[in-house]
Amino acid sequence: MIYLDHAATTPVPGEVADTVRDVLVHQFGNPSSQYGFGREARALVGLCRETVASALGCGVERLIFTSCGTESDNFAIRLATWQGRHTGKHIVTTAVEHSAVLEPCRQLEQEGYSVTYLKPDKNGNITAAQVAGALRGDTVLVSIMLVNNETGCVFPIREIADVLKAAGSRALLHTDAVQGFLKVPFRADTLGADFISISGHKIGAPKGVGALYLGERVKNPRPMLLGGGQENGLRSGTEATAQLAGFAKAAELRRANLGPALAHMAEVKAYALEQLLAIDGVERVGDGIAPHILAISLTGYPSANVVEDLSSQGICVSAGSACHRGKASHVYEAMDLPKKVKAGVLRVSFGPETRKSDIDALAAALKKHRDTRFPML
């Protein structure tokens, strides 16, 4: 199998899988139990928090573990609107956010909130000036992703934070950094965001674990889950110790080899651009600079058919976000792409394991599809 969909999920390294198994088998105590076995599990959770917080660039007291990036996004949005409930009911976000941000915003619209959806330019980019122009006195939340999961465009979160500060806005800033964590360089304590959402399975951890950073401007946060008081009382529920251990190990491994890994992915992406754009009918979509995501279009050839054809040859790419489940991408719709370009968009995404020979196989398969299949009329 040739796996070129690392933006959807990533393979779990053997060391991570071994760590998870060891905790499941030998360290399965409940961290809330008061005897020694429970205290050992509680200490393990603390070590995991230290490792992930260090990789994110924040103190342990700022990090809340969650079940996934989606939960982290939802939690941040609800915390921000709760804190700003006496300020107003206006939210600024983009038309190209992950559904984990867009769907909560749509629900809030049904609850009386007004939401401004910023549109990207033709290359998929959003500017800080757009955010400045959308701010209102009653804005309580600005939610802008760090790296777009379908185009690889990196949005200017630090500049947006500066815009909010210069405007004297009371709005809190959330960024979905699921595709940015250990993929593009940043530190939570200098990025300027009040909330940062991350997910484990995008960096080699098992599915079912994520985290949320809460900055200093977040005051008296309202709990998401009530019960036993875990996660500083904000998210009750017995900690998923094995997944947390896997998350920490994956972050440790990625961080230890981060420079070479990012350089390798950037090199593979550059090679992919060279090889794929040499194919008649293939064009680039957007100009994302993240090293692990490349959007292209085999113009006129329906992407669902291309993905199925490539899959039959053992090559895994996506027609967009895995969360769309085959539906048309709102990201490419928002970019106002020509109909035939939009119909043929493919997302190719890389990991530290991706080889140039994988790109060669993809290029050959795309040429074959172009030469043997009928385009869209």
Based on the domain organization, do 81 and 161 belong to the same domain?
Answer: yes
Based on the domain organization, do 250 and 261 belong to the same domain?
Answer: no
- Between CA 48 and CA 42 the distance in angstroms is 10
**Residue 178: is its pLDDT beyond 80?**
yes
Based on the domain organization, do 104 and 222 belong to the same domain?
Answer: yes
pLDDT for 325? 54
- Between CA 118 and CA 127 the distance in angstroms is 9
- In tens, the pLDDT along 339-360 reads 999 999 999 999 999 999 999 9
State the DSSP code for 53. H
**Residue 373: is its pLDDT beyond 90?**
no
The residue assigned the tokens 């200490």 is 43
- In tens, the pLDDT along 245-257 reads 999 999 999 999 9
- For residue 51, is it within any domain? yes
Helices and strands in the chain: count of H runs, count of E runs: 13, 12
Closest by CA position to 265, among listed 370, 158, 156, 356: 356
Domain of residue 170, residue span: 14-255
Total domains in the fold of the chain:
2
DSSP 83-105: HTTTT--EEEEETTS-HHHHHHH
pLDDT for 327? 64
Task: Tell me the CATH number at 277.
Answer: 3.90.1150.10
**Residue 146: is its pLDDT beyond 70?**
yes
pTM, rounded to two decimals: 0.96
Confidence tier at 323 by pLDDT (50, 70, 90): very low
Percentage of the chain beyond pLDDT 70 is 97
- In tens, the pLDDT along 65-110 reads 999 999 999 999 999 999 999 999 999 999 999 999 999 999 999 9
Based on the domain organization, do 34 and 171 belong to the same domain?
Answer: yes
**Residue 51: is its pLDDT beyond 60?**
yes
Contact 337, 285 (CB under 8 A): yes
Mean pLDDT of 27-52: 96
Instruction: Annotate 103-140 with three-state secondary structure.
Output: HHHHHHHHCCCEEEEECCCCCCCCCHHHHHHHCCCCEE
Phi-psi category of 15—alpha, beta or left, where left has phi over 0 and alpha has psi -120 to 50? Answer: alpha
Rg (the chain; Cα; Å): 21
Contact 325, 13 (CB under 8 A): no
pLDDT for 322? 46
Closest by CA position to 211, among listed 197, 223, 193: 197
- For residue 250, is it within any domain? yes
Relative orientation angle of helices 241-256 and 36-56, to the nearest 10 degrees = 40
Sequence-ordered list of residues with C-beta below 8 angstroms from that of 28, at least 6 positions apart, any chain = 41, 241, 242
Amino acid in position 34: Q
Mean pLDDT of 114-128: 98
pLDDT for 374? 77
- Between CA 76 and CA 373 the distance in angstroms is 46
Which of 199, 228, 255 lies at the terminal end of a domain, its last residue?
255
- In tens, the pLDDT along 11-35 reads 999 999 999 999 999 999 999 999 9
**Residue 328: is its pLDDT beyond 90?**
no
Contact 247, 47 (CB under 8 A): no
- Between CA 308 and CA 377 the distance in angstroms is 19
pLDDT for 54? 98
Q: Which of the residues are catalytic? A: 323
Averaged confidence pLDDT in the chain: 96
Based on the domain organization, do 137 and 63 belong to the same domain?
Answer: yes
Task: Tell me the CATH number at 92.
Answer: 3.40.640.10
Based on the domain organization, do 223 and 180 belong to the same domain?
Answer: yes
